[in-house]
Structure 1
Amino acid sequence: MKYSVSTVFLSVAISSFCSFSTLAEVAVVVHPSNQINLTKNEIKRIYLGKMKNFANGQVILPIDLSEGDKTRNAFNKQLLGKSSSQIKAYWSKLIFTGKGTPPKNVRSESEVISAVAANPGTIGYVEASQVTDQVRVIVKF
């Protein structure tokens, strides 16, 4: 079976559009009393274990959704610029060498909200539609 160039191009364009349209809008959240403002680069550094304290000296406790979660995949791709398998390999290397501990995993976005609401040092991310008044959004993307 032969395909024309335009048929192949159309197929690629449609599949690309579908994969981008499934990426969720992600909101990075902190405790309402935590008045810090972070750049996307600082958030990236937190989730790669390179930034461990807020500017006020408070220890940062990052929360990650479980592997395979669509919001986690979007967060990894859009903010960290890596696939989930690349992130897993990154943390495996740091754990093996004793140079880092990955963010704590939770099973659901409601658990992220609860963890962040319970501790001013915690930072997490959820799909933007899941944000409640228990947390404060510091960035959306």
Structure 2
Amino acid sequence: MKKWLGSLIAVAALSLPALCVAEVAVIVHPSSAIASMSEDEIARLFLGKTKSFPGGAQAVPINQNEGSAVREKFNETVCKKNASQYKAYWSQLVFTGKGTPPKDGGDDAGVKALVAANTNMIGYVDASVVDASVKVVFKVP
């Protein structure tokens, strides 16, 4: 019984960070002509299947650091991959020379600052940190 209870507590503790993220906002520079993007368009950018925004402008996707609850929710919801699947996906593309994964931009503040300063970047943050320095093009509930 103690083993079962310990396992249950461990699972709950590991799940807690993902539950704390209420909503993820996909953001671009405020001057971007992009008003909104679909989940599929965003997934294609973060999986290296396309390198440009829907209008044709170059897009540079920025991830949050590995292990962040926001990154976990984004990858599972938008890219349809858990952390190990996402890492394995990019490892295979890098090994075969078919792609370079998005750079890690840090936490919410780091990603927001990068996107706010670069017109061709796209990233994601916890929706609670969004302000006028960036534009939201998609929300992950």
- The alignment's TM-score, normalised by the length of structure 2, stands at 0.83
1:62, distance to aligned residue in structure 2 (A) = 0.3
Query: Equivalents in 2 of 1:121, 1:58: separation in Å?
Result: 7
> What is the alpha-carbon root mean square deviation over aligned residues?
2.0
Could you say which residue in structure 2 is the equivalent of 1:95? 94
Could you say which residue in structure 1 is the equivalent of 2:22? 24
Deviations 1:24-48, CA, capped at 9 Å, x for gaps = 3100000011121211100010000
* Number of positions where the alignment pairs a residue of Structure 1 with one of Structure 2: 129
How many percent of aligned residue pairs carry the same amino acid?
47
Deviations 1:49-73, CA, capped at 9 Å, x for gaps = 0010123332110000111011000
State which structure, 1 or 2, has the greater radius of gyration over its C-alpha atoms: 1
Letter in 2 for 1:97: T
Q: Which runs of 5+ in 1 are unaligned?
A: 2-10
1:108, distance to aligned residue in structure 2 (A) = 1.3
1:21, distance to aligned residue in structure 2 (A) = 3.8
Query: Equivalents in 2 of 1:57, 1:22: separation in Å?
Result: 35
8 Å CA contact retained: 1:30, 1:123:
yes
**How do 1:56-75 and structure 2 match up within 5 A?**
56-75=55-74
Letter in 1 for 2:138: V
Could you say which residue in structure 2 is the equivalent of 1:140? 139
Query: Equivalents in 1 of 2:109, 2:124: separation in Å?
Result: 11
Runs of 4+ in 1 over 3 A off after TM superposition: 18-24
Letter in 1 for 2:32: N
Query: Equivalents in 1 of 2:88, 2:19: separation in Å?
Result: 27
Letter in 1 for 2:110: E
